[in-house]
Amino acid sequence: MSNAKPSLKIAIAGLGVVGSEVARQLINRSDELALAAGKMIQVVAVSARDRSVNRGVNLDGIDWYDETHKMAERDDIDIIVEMIGGSEGVAVDLARAALRSGKHVITANKAMIAHHGAELAQLAEANDAHLLFESAVAGGIPAVKTLREGLAGNKITRVAGILNGTCNYILSTMETTGRGFEEVLADAQRFGYAEAEPSFDIDGIDAAHKLTILAAIAFGQKPDFSAVSIQGIRDVSSVDFTYANQLGFRIKLVGVAEPGLMPRMETCLLPLDSQLAKVNGVLNAVEFHGEPVGSVLAVGPGAGGCATSSAVLSDLIDIAAGRGGLPFGRSINTLADATAVENCAGPDKPFYVRLMVVDQPGVLATLTGILQKHSISIEGLLQQGRAPGNAVALVMTTHETSVVKLGIALDEMEKLPIVKAKPVAMPIMLADKEM
């Protein structure tokens, strides 16, 4: 390739698993990527906390910055690739500085976009810069591009997805092995699927960041993490998989966004033959419903250096080829405030409820009496074995009811001496288009 060909100069902030893989791809495949981009993409600067780490790529001749913000001050840098992470601090300060100086920003930082996406998009538009974040959602799945470009002509009616590979691995493994949550979580940490402090994953926060971004693009609203309802997977027990299977369901952590409703991360029961129920292990999946397209499902690796760097490279090539576009698919001034969305978890739905109750006469009558008082009807009951005088699992499925009414009823049950643990409730998705 001729040296006279124009080049795009980039700086990479953060050389962890993803940042290092991005650097490897750009350095080792420079000519090949230039063909796709229409120009050379040259790494000219990097920043990371530890220079001594062997990152598997030769960084000779590339400027190293201990103070990350100084990369935004260089006039010759075109793009900052932010791989630091975190919703506050160095990452967002760097993004602000870069955009104010007219530099494009590519980031895998879903927390930053979920919390500050509207502000950063405003800065990008005001300074004729691009802000791209394909790698922030679902790793190697082009979820953002699918919504923002491939389905741009559709009226999106629903986005649903399995957005966290750690949770999907834990739930899939619990189902297939019968092992408990804590044991499987420890395995996930040992294999590198879960962090040493796993709260962001297992409490649904990581997935909710991604859902915030998808909802913003799908429904033309400013990203607002505070407007998302979040439930994690900590309360799921191995016994729940036994009962769910008997009922013809599989347990998954699913994010759902619909127009006019609060986006929600929910641990729910999916029919065994549904598309999302068949996505197991560390895979992610995003399902789009719209008019006129109908239903579109995208499945792939949701995390890791290779999958996430693939999305970063896609954004780099888009900018190089003049396809950057607007961050959320339309001008920031046309986006609605997410806080104006009705704080509603959607229409009434059936629920799976598990109670640990004392095995003694009269228990069922007491529980059903509470449900009747709150106008909640039972569809089915399941109990395996007997243990007179001891606690046993009692599972019931309800007909359609509201989250609020069920919550009040379960709070009342939890106070009873015959109920020995906090009740567990999960919505039942009756079909791929209902939740």
H/E element, 229:
strand 229-230
Q: Can you give the CATH number for the domain in which 177 is found?
A: 3.30.360.10
Domain count, the chain: 3
Catalytically annotated residues: 210
For position 344, what pLDDT does the model report?
A: 58
Contact 158/289 with Cβ under 8 angstroms?
Answer: yes
Q: Do 215 and 281 fall into the same domain? A: yes
What is the rounded CA–CA span in Å between residue 136 and residue 108?
4
Q: Are 395 and 429 in contact (CB under 8 A)?
A: no
| 323/65 Cα distance (integer angstroms) | 29
The pTM of this model reads 0.92
> Locate tokens 């040259």: which residue?
42
Q: Are residues 122 and 217 in the same domain?
A: no
Element (H or E) spanning 267, and its range? strand 264-271
Distance CA 276, CA 290 (A): 17
* CATH code for the domain in which residue 377 is found: 3.30.70.260
pLDDT score, position 51:
84
Terminal-residue alpha carbon distance, the chain: 53
119: nearest Cα among 90, 87, 96: 96
pLDDT of 208 reads: 97
Evaluate whether residue 367 is within a structural domain.
yes
Reported residue count of the chain is: 435
Half-sphere exposure of 434 (CA within 13 A, CB side): 13
157 shares its domain with 270: yes
- Closest by Cα among 426, 167, 191 to 284: 167
At position 73, the amino acid (one-letter code) is E
pLDDT means over runs of 10, the chain (435 residues): 66 94 95 94 93 86 92 95 94 97 97 97 97 95 96 96 96 96 94 89 96 96 93 95 95 95 94 94 95 96 90 96 93 83 70 94 93 94 78 93 94 95 92 47
Whether 152 and 288 share a structural domain:
yes
Rounded CA-CA distance 244/204 in Å is 21
Backbone angles phi, psi at 380, to 5 degrees: -155, 160
Residue 393: domain span: 351-427
Residues 101 and 158 grouped into a single domain:
no
Cα–Cα distance for residue pair 260/322, rounded to 1 Å: 34
